[in-house]
Every structure is written in C-alpha cells, then in structure tokens.
Copies of this chain bind each other. A is one copy, B any other.
Amino acid sequence: MDLCVVPIGVGVSLSEYIVECESVLKDAGLKTELHAYGTVIEGEWDEVFAAVKACHEAVHAKGAPRITTTIKVGTRVDRAQTMEDKVASVKDKL
C-alpha cells in the first residue's frame, strides 16, 4: 500500500500529523518506507487497514477536524512479492 494522509483545517504545516501517523504504523509492527509523498506499507490486508483506521483516529485526536487520504493498494494471488522485489524488478532492468 501507498498511504498519504492529509489533515485539513490545521494550517499549512502537516509534518507533526504525519509523525503521529508514522508512530501508529510503527506501533502496529508494520514494514514501512517513508518517501516524500507518502509511506509504502507491506503486510496482510486486515493489519494494514486496521493501521490506516488507527492513523485517522490519531490524527483526529491530535486536533485535525477533517482528513483526506489517498491510498494505492495492490494485491496479487499469483505469487509473493515484497516491496524490495518490486523496486528490484525495475532497477535490474535500468
């Protein structure tokens, strides 16, 4: 999953809310990788989405009245594939 949580109504600086979200993901024991426009998360469906819900709850609890989040989520049943596999399959051919 690629997760990008955007709190609305808290001004222009969002990093402290993103930090809140990152803490939730770490506490959930999920494998994550922060990049400049979101966080890539690897894991089983229920755990990953439970963490996304916990992020929204934490960001609201920190004071954000409104949140808009963009998620890309990929599943496949043909074979296992990690975050590293996906990046390597491209980098190996560059």
On whether the beta carbons of B2 and A65 are closer than 8 Å, the reply is: no
On whether the beta carbons of A34 and B69 are closer than 8 Å, the reply is: no
Q: Is A27 an interface residue (CB 8 A)?
A: no
User: This chain: how many copies in the complex?
Assistant: 4
A1-27 near B? 1/0 per residue, CB < 8 Å: 110101011011011101100110000
Give the interface size bracket for A toward B: 35 or more
Pull 21 A–B residue pairs with CB atoms less than 8 Å apart, ordered by A: A2-B4, A2-B38, A6-B8, A6-B68, A9-B11, A9-B78, A12-B66, A16-B93, A18-B90, A19-B94, A22-B90, A34-B90, A34-B91, A36-B40, A37-B86, A38-B72, A49-B53, A68-B72, A68-B74, A69-B74, A71-B71
